[in-house]
Amino acid sequence: MNKTKTYILIAAVLGIWGTIGYKIINGLSPDNPVTIEQNYNVVFNPKISTQIDTFSIQNVEKDPFLGTLASNKKTGDMAARVLPKTKLPENNPKITYGGLIKKQNASDQVFVVNINNNQHLLKKGQVVDSVTLLKGNTKTITIRYKNKPQTITRN
């Protein structure tokens, strides 16, 4: 009985090692598949559509986002309305006060003034871009633009 188990185990081991060897040998020299080149004579001719898609624009009475009715309904001729003449605002420069620069033991004061986002260092009485610096302290400055005095506070 002992010999029969040994013979069965030897046959199983040889079968397993034979399968492994066969897979290795086939993996090293695989058979390349035969490819047959086929020449197709295919021409792509799309059908040309001669139909024209038409659409129309309609006034929507309901707001698609809010779900409410539109409140502004404009009717009438725009040319028939006469707009009242309004005085155009003057093109005043944008002026901001940045601060004060002063030496510790000197009386000269230099003010940091931003005119139209350009930084200028001004002393009292100096003129830059038609803006005259009249007076100032650490919190406010007084300027004159087109003969109109204005007080500007520090940011």
d(CA 134, CA 155): 19
- Tell me the pLDDT tens digit for each residue of 69-81: 655 555 555 555 6
Looking at per-residue confidence, does 6 or 41 come out higher?
6
CA atoms within 13 A on the CB side of 104: 0
Model pTM?
A: 0.42
- Tell me the pLDDT tens digit for each residue of 76-101: 555 556 666 666 566 788 999 998 88
